[in-house]
Copies of this chain bind each other. A is one copy, B any other.
Amino acid sequence: MNVIKKIKSADPEDVSAEEALKAAMSQMEAEIIRLDPDKSANDEASWQERKSAQTRLAILAAAVECLAKHGYAKTTTQQVAATAKISRGAMLHHYATKSELIASVIEYVFYRRMKLFFGEITRLSEERRRDVTGGVEVYWNWVQTPEFDAFLELSIASRKDAELGEIFETRAIELDAYSFDQIPIFFPEWKAVSKETLRLANDLIVAAIQGLYTNRQIITDRKRRTAVRDLVSKTILMLREGEIDLN
């Protein structure tokens, strides 16, 4: 997994928690920059490079907007071009085929989701990071975004397309592994817990929160949704404290 580069600090005892956190955050920012489709922002790029990156970003953002708003089935290249306020020719210049565009959109959506995850996790105060409900809240907020809606659309579309499926799956596993590795760094209470238990806790949150969101048409009552999230939080807490007898 090339995404996950361990922090170089020798021992957790040596560095303070604060320093480790800062190191993790700067490393995460570096990772985000690495995935940034607009490489031109940093380097001293030529005019053409900057212009190209700019329109490509506009196209990708427009595609996400279309996917989130109209769904995959109704998203056409013309729609995207119109939303990005460029001509179909310009669109074709940057992305020769539709699947080429979609492939790039997949990469872009994962980049955006990574960035949003970073935003959510750093928004939490240290106190909230010691509270399990903080973790569940991160995932719940993470899911209520246009990027996640686009992600969902691409997810189901990729499942029926071998080519896109491979790209999507690769990025999905990558992002899952990455966000998983951030947990013990940002949520210190989990450092003592075994990898398997942490994995289980993460899987439950991911599945339950995503299922809760996608079932929002059926589970319409806000109280019911809150109750489920609270229950998940309590389960996770008990799991962490070893109060649940596994196997």
Contact = CB atoms under 8 A, between A and B. Distances in A.
A234 interface: yes
Nearest to A176: B218
Given A73-B72, A173-B218, A230 B207 contact: no
Main secondary structure of the interface of A (DSSP, over half): helix
B218 A200 contact: no
A157 B73 contact: yes
A244 B231 contact: yes
A58 interface: no
Contacts of A199: 224, 227
Number of copies of this chain in the oligomer? 2
Contacts of A27: none
Interface in A121-159: 152-153, 155-157, 159
A135 to B, nearest CB: 16
Residue from A176, A200, A228 whose CB has the most chain B CB atoms within 10 Å: A228
Interface in A205-232: 206-212, 214-215, 217-220, 224-225, 227-228, 230-232
A92 B194 CA distance: 60
A199 B220 CA distance: 13
Given A157-B73, A231-B239, A203 B217 contact: no
A156 B159 contact: no
A159 B208 contact: no
A204 interface: yes
Interface in A95-132: none
A37 interface: no
A244 B239 contact: no
21 contacts: A70-B160, A71-B156, A72-B73, A73-B160, A155-B214, A159-B217, A169-B217, A173-B220, A176-B218, A199-B227, A203-B219, A203-B225, A204-B208, A204-B232, A207-B207, A207-B209, A207-B219, A208-B211, A209-B211, A231-B239, A231-B246
Q: Which 8 pairs of residues, A with B, have the shortest CB-CB distance?
A: A211-B211, A207-B211, A71-B160, A73-B73, A210-B211, A207-B212, A208-B208, A235-B235
Given A73-B73, A207-B215, 19 more contacts: A71-B157, A72-B73, A153-B156, A155-B217, A156-B156, A169-B217, A172-B218, A173-B220, A199-B224, A203-B225, A204-B228, A207-B208, A209-B211, A210-B214, A211-B212, A211-B214, A214-B214, A231-B235, A234-B244
